Amino acid sequence: MKNLFSLFAKNQSLIYKVFLFILSTLLVIYFLPKGGQFKYNFQKGKPWQYENLYAPFSFTIKKHEDTLKKEREQIRNNAVPYFEYNNEIEASVLENFNNKLETKYVDSLYATPQNTIKKIGDRFISETYKKGVTDEIHTYDGDKLIYLKNGNEIEERSYSQLFKKENLNKKIRELVEKNNIEDAQALLYNLLSEVLDPNVKLNTKLTEASIDAEIKTINPNRGIIEKGGRIIAKGEVVEGDKYQVLNSLKAEFDSQIWSKNNYLWLLVGYSMLVSLVFLMLFLFLKNYRPYIYHNNTKVTFIFFNILLMVFLTTLVLKVHSDYVYVVPICILPLILKAFFDPRVGLFVHVLTILLLGFIVPNSFEYMFLQFIAGIVTILTVSELYKRANLFISVGQITLIYILGYFAFFVIQEGNIQTLQWENFGYFILCGLATLFAHPLIYFYEKIFGLVSDVSLLELSDTNSKLLKELSNKAPGTFHHSLNVANLAEAAANEIGANSMLVRVGALYHDIGKMQNPTMFTENQANSINSHNELDPKESAKIIIDHVIKGIEIARKHNLPDRVIDFIRTHHGTSLVYYFYSKEREEHGEANKEDFIYPGPIPFSKETAILMMADSVEAASKSLKEPSSTSIDEFVEKIINNQMAQGQFLNANITFKEIEMIKKVLKKKLNNIYHLRVEYPE
């Protein structure tokens, strides 16, 4: 049991990666569509690349969606509407009419007797309500057939047979002319317009149910392809009827292959493919980005983003497949580039698109557009902390989507008449969603403890609390740090390293000197040196301890680990040579271990640049009469000595890059000391 626990403790990082690998694979398989993959890849408008294809089994030819849509529209247009008849309205209308007539009829005003008006009105109401009265406005033609539901009986009528209240004035005039009662026309119109209530209304529920029932009877098939029948020959263009037949075969294949018998085999196939993708990611990180591979937090961060994109795409596809381009896939390489580097961003983006190829429709078109958009993202987005850069990049990504989609549509359809312009809106929405990268980066920094260029920009502010404290307590060290930052930033730009990171590292690399500022020469205001009263070992310990104290201060102020790395490595495992020599002079011998910085040595280009810039800038203060020649010589001497000590063995930096850094440092120091060529008098 003890041995098992010990084995687990030694390999917990590897065990965690295996767990992450298995969990991610299972989650992706869960998100994948529950169906097999059709073994032929074809596109509308493209030639058939395979051998002649014969039907492997008999299957029905599915109607095109446009055809089904037209049939549904035709059924809806030709559907017979149902109207509901209310028998109770007529009696109440008659009663209201007679009551109002009694009230409003005045013998002295009308020549027509009241009884005559009553009979005409009652007869009109009775005849009209038998036909049906409606006040609804419909677009039906007059000869449109309708069903009039009266209780349990349904009667066929034409729509024109219903009486519309808007025709009341015309009908009153006809009654007046027929019965010669012109004096009572206004009275009759006023009474009837007040009392007439509709007794026929459109029964929407019954009408829609009838339409739905008829739509369900539509046959989605238009024919049968018998087993062995030729579907398409090699080289034929996939279009029209051929394209529909191939889609029908694909649909039938997908429905047949995902059965209980081969369910397990399909899971095995999916597991192998998804596992290969994640295995490639682990191999890439282990071989080319070991600093990420050995950091489980960073590995988890990468896997989390891949799973997030797969989940979002799956979620959107469940709503509607047309919205698939709304998912901002390009936010993935953008964020990974902000935290790591472009190569990691592009590699992970490519692997994610390969996984999404199992899910999305028109996978070739989708993958092509996403690959191009991802490459554009990597090539265009730089210095993400500059807000304008993100907007420019998003505009370029959106333009690539639009141009790519338009090109695919023209190739497939051969015209732009049926172009779905709303898809361009989806691309614009995708671009707007990509702008969410900034708040997402902030969220990731807090959750995963990572640092991006945006945070580095904030840390580079010399008005920050920690740097102001450094400038107050150790002004000489603060000035030295500013000079080192300028030197290191220029060198980083020259070799293509992260200039913002190395600048921030330079600003904070000596914060440990705040504890005993006067023990460092740059902070000594007079010629009195505190080390003269100390033993060389004590002096060396104070000098060396500024690294440890710097790390403690940095952790107390929550500086990112990437910045603390510069504090740990800026002296590497170098020797405090002055006090080592002094110890040997005073005691005849010295233990070298007491005068060596604890390290580690620089393990990146940026930390190596800081070590060179820091040593050169500090040593330049000892030059009594700086000249171009002396500066060149001492830069060469210092950096060559560091190389001889093996300080850059883990830094992944080339000899060529070191030579380029030397040139930059020489040029900058010459500018600092304002050296000019001496002209003869």
Q: How confident is the model at residue 456 (pLDDT cuts 50, 70, 90)?
A: confident
pLDDT at residue 35, as a whole number: 57
pLDDT at residue 261, as a whole number: 60
* Third-level CATH fold of 453-672: Hypothetical protein af1432 (1.10.3210)
pLDDT at residue 38, as a whole number: 66
Q: How confident is the model at residue 387 (pLDDT cuts 50, 70, 90)?
A: low
Tokens of 648: 């850059």
pLDDT at residue 636, as a whole number: 93
Give the pLDDT mean for 241-246.
81
pLDDT at residue 278, as a whole number: 96
Give the pLDDT mean for 622-644.
86
Tokens of 382: 């730089």
Pairwise CA distance, residues 592 & 607, whole Å = 24
Tell me: the pLDDT tens digits for 313-371? 999 988 888 888 899 999 999 899 888 888 999 999 999 999 998 888 778 888 999 99
**Of 38 and 54, which is predicted with more confidence?**
54
**Of 497 and 235, which is predicted with more confidence?**
497
Tokens of 580: 């080592």
pTM: predicted TM-score of the whole model, two decimal places? 0.63
Q: Residue 596 pLDDT more than 80?
A: yes
Strand partners, 224: 60
Q: Per residue, what are the HEC states of 457-509? A: HHHCCCCCHHHHHHHHHCHHHHHHHHHHHHHHHHHHHHHCCCHHHHHHHHHHC
What's the CA angle centered on 485, arms 480 and 486, to 5 degrees?
Answer: 100
Output the furthest CA–CA distance in the chain (Å, rounded): 147
Tell me: the pLDDT tens digits for 514-540? 988 888 878 776 666 677 777 878 888
Domain positions in the chain are 75-215, 289-436, 453-672
pLDDT at residue 631, as a whole number: 87
**Of 618 and 188, which is predicted with more confidence?**
618
Tokens of 119: 């009979």
Cβ(323)–Cβ(355) below 8 Å: no
User: Please, what is the average pLDDT of the chain?
Assistant: 84
Could you give the C-alpha distances from 644 to 422, 437, 574, 628, 665, in angstroms and in order?
A: 65, 44, 11, 24, 19
**Of 575 and 37, which is predicted with more confidence?**
575
Q: Residue 404 pLDDT more than 90?
A: no
Query: Half-sphere exposure of 93 toward its Cβ, with a 13 Å CA cutoff?
Result: 25
pLDDT at residue 608, as a whole number: 95
Q: Residue 491 pLDDT more than 90?
A: yes
Residue 350: burial class (beta carbons within 10 Å; 0-12, 13-18, 19+): middle
pLDDT at residue 679, as a whole number: 47
Give the pLDDT mean for 393-401.
87
Instruction: Kindly write down the DSSP assignment for every residue of 236-260, as one continuous string.
Output: -B--HHHHHHHHHHHHHHHHHHSST
Give the pLDDT mean for 123-141.
85
Least confident residue range of 213-222, 566-575, 639-648: 213-222
Tell me: the pLDDT tens digits for 659-671? 999 999 999 988 8
Pairwise CA distance, residues 596 & 574, whole Å = 6
pLDDT at residue 36, as a whole number: 57
Query: Half-sphere exposure of 447 toward its Cβ, with a 13 Å CA cutoff?
Result: 11
Tokens of 421: 């312009």
Percent of the chain with pLDDT over 70: 92
Q: What is the three-class DSSP state of 56?
A: coil
